[in-house]
Amino acid sequence: MPVSERDTLIGKNMPYVPGTLPDADFDDIIQIASQICNTPASLISIVDTDKQWFKAVNGLGASAIREYLPLSQSVAGKPGELFIVPDLTKDKRFQGHPCLGGDSSVVFYAEVPLLASAGHVSGALCIIDKVARKLDEHQAHALQALAILIVSRMEFRDITTQYKKRQAELRMASDDLGKIARIASHDLKSPLNNIISLTHLLKEDYAPKFDDDGREYIDYLNDAAYYLSDLVSGILSYTRTSLQAVEPKENISIPRLAEEVIGQLNLPSNIIINYPKGDAEIYTSRTALKQIFLHLLHNAIRYNVSDPIKVAMTFHEDDSAYVFEVKDNGPGIAEEDKEKIFELFEKLNGKIKDGESMGIGLAIVKRLVEKLGGSIAVNSAPSEGSSFLINIPK
């Protein structure tokens, strides 16, 4: 059907699927159906419990379509089975039907129900002619194949629409989360910093005026303020990681990145760090990989009381993945704690006051590795150090 004619019919309240426009893909399919079966008219109908619309129409005028509508509604074919009426004028089921007689008289009619994956019939692919005819085996199989293609196309579009809607919802949620984190960081950190400053002032200038209990209460207050401040910092850090994009990717020199990370850490004097040398290079997100190394090295050093502290970073690759290992000679991790350490706010050492000890660091590492499509695992035992293995797909 020419575009101008089709648009005119739509303007006359043509019964197309509500909320949709004619679609070139489906127009092409019904034209193929007409060409294969050598019929002048074809269409795709969509049915509901009590309504019927057309998704695509080829070779029919407005009056013919209005006469065709009750014809399609009267057909009760089996799901997925080709229904053929070679000559409507000789079929008793359609005697006196509005589609018979007149210039737009329908004589030959065939349809393949559109069987949705859920098992219900959602419509039909129909071919129509003004003369009696038959379909050969190849034409019948072609119609059934086109019906499957139509259903696949419709369901794919439904999935795509839902996916785009979900993406939009996630973007909105992500924006809201970012705003909340920024507001919480400012509105909570400022008064907490004031409390910390005031408790320091009380201890320095007014300590002689307090008894032992009073000084102890001030210490409790100071510790609580530090705890809340570090907790807010940890939440903000994890939120930023969750919102952080792992694109774009780039070629990264592993030795240079390791040197850059080591240079940003406050290293103790009794530490030995080994890392890959040479020309080892990978293609991934530089920002994400740098954060992963920073947190893992910080953990390897922060909780290590060995003398000297030893940390070894190694790297190798295979056909499908990059594999990293960060190994230390620290206190190690008990078997029952190996899964816990990657969970947000789970911590094994509660004495150190900083964002890392709030159970944030390894949760961030795990989150970033997963955003890269990879996985992380730990091999460790008490007093035997820990080895973190990271697998990132190419």
**Residue 245 confidence (pLDDT):** 72
Last residue of a domain, one of 243, 272, 302: 243
Rounded to whole angstroms, the Cα distance separating 214 from 291 reads 42
Last residue of a domain, one of 86, 102, 135: 135
**Residue 2 confidence (pLDDT):** 37
Q: 259-265 long-range contacts, Cβ below 8 Å, gap at least 24?
A: 260/290, 261/290, 261/293, 261/294, 261/297, 262/297, 264/294, 265/294, 265/297, 265/298, 265/301
Query: What's the structural domain count of the chain?
Result: 3
- Please report, for residues 240, 286, 288, 366, 378, the alpha-carbon distance to residue 252 in angstroms, rounded to integers and kept in the order given: 23, 7, 12, 20, 25
Tell me how crowded residue 227 is: count the other CB atoms within 10 A of its CB: 15
221 in any annotated domain: yes
Q: Looking at the structure, do residues 207 and 260 belong to the same domain, yes or no?
A: no
Rounded to whole angstroms, the Cα distance separating 135 from 29 reads 18
Q: Looking at the structure, do residues 371 and 256 belong to the same domain, yes or no?
A: yes
Closest CA to 373 of 388, 361, 389, 390: 390
144 in any annotated domain: no
**Residue 32 confidence (pLDDT):** 94
Outline where DSSP puts E strands in the chain.
41-47, 52-58, 83-85, 108-115, 121-129, 250-253, 271-274, 281-284, 309-317, 321-328, 375-380, 386-393
Q: Which tokens hold the place of 259?
A: 């040197």
Q: What is the CA radius of gyration of the chain?
A: 35
Tell me the three state secondary structure of residue 250. strand
Burial of 335 from C-beta contacts in 10 A (0-12 / 13-18 / 19+): exposed
Closest CA to 100 of 61, 64, 47: 64
Q: Looking at the structure, do residues 263 and 238 belong to the same domain, yes or no?
A: no
Reported as a single tens digit per residue, the pLDDT across 109-139 is 898 988 888 777 888 898 989 899 999 999 9
The CATH number that applies at residue 78 is: 3.30.450.40
Rounded to whole angstroms, the Cα distance separating 355 from 185 reads 13
- Which of the residues in the chain have pLDDT under 50? 1-20, 62-63, 69-70, 73-76, 350-356
Q: Looking at the structure, do residues 182 and 255 belong to the same domain, yes or no?
A: no
**Residue 22 confidence (pLDDT):** 55
Rounded to whole angstroms, the Cα distance separating 394 from 391 reads 10
> By residue range, what is the domain housing residue 90?
3-135
Q: Looking at the structure, do residues 278 and 319 belong to the same domain, yes or no?
A: yes
The CATH number that applies at residue 261 is: 3.30.565.10
Burial of 160 from C-beta contacts in 10 A (0-12 / 13-18 / 19+): exposed
146 in any annotated domain: no
Tell me the three state secondary structure of residue 282. strand
**Residue 142 confidence (pLDDT):** 94
Cβ atoms of 249 and 281 closer than 8 Å: no
**Residue 239 confidence (pLDDT):** 74
Closest CA to 312 of 273, 354, 257, 353: 273
**Residue 25 confidence (pLDDT):** 83
384 in any annotated domain: yes
Reported as a single tens digit per residue, the pLDDT across 215-260 is 888 888 888 888 788 777 777 777 777 777 777 889 999 999 999 9
Q: Looking at the structure, do residues 263 and 384 belong to the same domain, yes or no?
A: yes
Tell me how crowded residue 155 is: count the other CB atoms within 10 A of its CB: 14
Cβ atoms of 43 and 60 closer than 8 Å: yes
148 in any annotated domain: no
Burial 163-190 (b: 16+ CB within 10 A, else e): eeeeeeeeeeeeeeeeeebeeebeebee
310 in any annotated domain: yes
Q: Looking at the structure, do residues 124 and 197 belong to the same domain, yes or no?
A: no
Last residue of a domain, one of 135, 166, 188: 135
365 in any annotated domain: yes
152 in any annotated domain: no
**Residue 274 confidence (pLDDT):** 94
Cβ atoms of 114 and 122 closer than 8 Å: yes
